[in-house]
Amino acid sequence: MPDSPKTVPLKIDESFTQRPGILSAKTSILPDDFLLTDENDDFQLQQAASLFQTGSLGLALDMLDSIEDGSLTADQRTRKRIMQAAILLQAGGSIQAQQVLKANIESFQPESSNVFYLMRAKAFLAQGQTADALKSLIKREQYLGASSVMDNQNLIWNVLMFIDARQLAVIQQTNMSTELAGWIELAAIVKKSSTDPESEQLVNNWRIRNLSHPANAGVFEQISRQPAPLIQGRKIAFLLPLSSAYGPAANAIRDGFEVMNNDQAVNDRYPVRFYDYGPDANAAILYYNQAINDGADIIIGPLGRQSIDSLLASTEVKVPTLLLSPPSEQNTTQNNLFQFSLSQELEARETAQRAWLDGHRRGVILFPQTAIGQRMATAFAQRFSQLGGEIVSSEGFSAKETDFSPPVRHLLGVDSSEQRIAEMKRVLGGKITTEARRRQDIDFIFLPAGNRNARLIKPVLDFFYAFDLPVYSTSRIFSGKVDPANDTDLDRIRFPDMPWMIATNVELESLRTFLQGGWPNRETSYNRLYGLGMDIFSILPRLQLMRENPLLHYQGLSGNLGIDENGIIHRQMLWARFKKGTPRLLDNQLTYQGRFSEKKYEAIPTITPAAGQ
């Protein structure tokens, strides 16, 4: 058996790995005061806790999985499950975390019990299962001290204020406790307070009927005020390069936002103004200041790394600003600054998490030799390494090439195998019959290639003996148009994408028809930016609430959205695999949380032409 070739680690851009909020693995989602272990615990449990606290998530999980439950006390088993769930949640595995926490709690210790139910609530919220999350938070309260009860009730209230009236009505149809029913009823009353002149009386009536409800016990005045949306009634300014080479992308974002805004009642629409800074990225700063002088209360944009770098280097972020691309350096955290983009680095990071959650630990990367290709490879390698995996080799390719045999042969070690066979034939006089083989020390391939390149590369991978290796990619591999005739060569490749692009349920199919009609870029990659524009509209009123409450997630058209402490919006997307040239979903459909979830599609709204400046 030929030896595996010498491994060649990916060259990682060190400046990228230091960006906060992108690749940090040490930020725990557990309460700061929760003690994972004590001096009397099993040694392996203590060792696992130490690994977890230092960010060695993969090693910690492997250690926890190796500990026999029979050797632990009931409380130790509970803390073991809490740590397992915390690691899985940090790796994007909310479904796996739910499985770990599914069985009944075993501990009788209040400290472990309250964190157990908190983690269960986080896992449910990450999947949009709001009713189960609320039940877990209510259950948690019986294990909290008096000083922590109000914080938990505020959390319950924030969850209730975050969801819409339709979701409240759905939860009301489930089996629930009297306490949860009281919370739901109060939330429904408060949500319609702005339109119902009798709302104050309705609230008073609720208080009389629910004298023993926790919300009546000292925290009512604080929690019964619905948080004001960030932008309600305020002026919005868009900074977009509409008349530049990036015009199609900018226009797609604009159109997605506008179609949502135009569907509102006239008096409820946001006043929006579009500022076109054209091909000069540095001009974005001028239009940013102009938008502020014109009275903008919130600014969306710019789009593009250069214009964003110029903006952040030249001016103070004076009003809430939602950047549409990541800056080159993530070294500034400002309360007014948010980021929402189709970041390829974040997609690569999510792909690394998926590969790791699927059980893979050693892989190789075949990436395009471009700036974005290097960033994707770096993000994947760094995140996969943090989780305890290893990238043993990497190889770049030119996107302009049509023959990908040389980089594939080298990546898979086939050329080394052929050289060894040739040397053996020379030594033995050609009296051997054997075939070359690929390296045997890997269990997957990461291929962050575009659709055109991937169609050519995948058959080459299969030819050089990698047919049995799972191949992971990003959404770049799907053109946006279902094209089985040309995409058959992509079969078995796994990739993440927006529900807007690949979900096939009736709800989203109807929504696409209703909102897009004859939109010219419907079956192209620009459709993702259209979905981004739609989610920008939906998430704007929730930005600050989500930043202050990391548990809150919005089930959008671009994915399951959450915001970290740096204001970066992360997207958990759906996963699909090509089968007979067509993307087929691997996961259950994420729930869409937006206003169109039960809408009747009777007419197609028109997009009002944008007013540029």
Structural contact between residues 546 and 150, judged by C-beta atoms closer than 8 angstroms: no
Q: Tokens standing for 397?
A: 């390719």
Which pLDDT does position 28 carry in this prediction?
60
384 versus 164: the higher-pLDDT residue is 384
pLDDT value for 190:
79
More confident residue, 130 or 193: 130
Q: Does any domain span residue 178?
A: yes
Q: What is the pLDDT of residues 57-95, one digit of tens each?
A: 888 998 999 999 888 899 999 999 999 999 999 888 888
Express each pLDDT in 341-372 by its tens digit.
999 999 999 999 999 999 999 999 999 999 99
> Quick one: average pLDDT of 119-134?
91
Residue 160 lies in a domain: yes
User: Band of the pLDDT at 19, cuts 50, 70, 90?
Assistant: very low
569-610 tens-digit pLDDT: 999 899 999 999 999 988 765 555 554 443 444 444 444 444
* Residue 317 belongs to a domain: no
φ and ψ at residue 535, rounded to 5 degrees: -70, -30
For residues 87-108, give the mean pLDDT. 90
**What are the b/e assignments for 288-305, b being 16+ CB within 10 Å?**
bebbbeeebbbbbbbbbb
**Domain contains 565:** no
| Assigned domain for 340 exists | no
pLDDT at 419: 56
Q: Which residues of 164-196 are buried (b: 16+ CB within 10 A; e: fewer)?
A: eeebbebbeeeebeebbebbbbbbbbbbebeee
In a domain, residue 134? The reply is: yes
Give the residue with greater pLDDT, 186 vs 492: 492
CATH number at residue 56: 1.25.40
Residue 18 has pLDDT above 50, yes or no: no
Contacts for 491 with CB less than 8 Å, ≥ 6 apart: 458, 578, 579, 580, 581
Q: What is the total residue count of the chain?
A: 613
Pair 557, 594: CB distance under 8 Å:
yes
Question: Is the pLDDT score of 176 beyond 60?
Answer: yes
Gap between the Cα atoms of 567 and 118, Å rounded: 23
Q: 128 lies in a domain? A: yes
pLDDT on residue 20? 33
What number is the average pLDDT over the span 211-230?
65
Q: Is the pLDDT of residue 613 over 80?
A: no
* Through-space distance between the first and last CA atoms of the chain, rounded to whole angstroms: 69
Token pair recorded at residue 342: 């189709």
The pLDDT value recorded for residue 23 is: 32
Under the banding of pLDDT at 50, 70 and 90, the label for residue 504 is confident
> What does the pLDDT average to over 265-283?
90
Residue 286 has pLDDT above 90, yes or no: yes
Range of the domain at 155: 26-223
**pTM for the full model?**
0.84
What are the CA-CA distances from residue 306 to residues 9, 296, 355, 396, 478 (Å)?
A: 30, 23, 32, 25, 26
Q: Is residue 239 assigned to a domain?
A: no
Domains held by the chain: number? 1
**Residues 557-577, mean pLDDT to the nearest whole number:** 90
- Identify the pLDDT of residue 606: 45
Is 543 a residue whose pLDDT tops 60? yes
Q: How confident is the model at residue 315 (pLDDT cuts 50, 70, 90)?
A: confident
Q: What mean pLDDT is reported for the chain?
A: 83
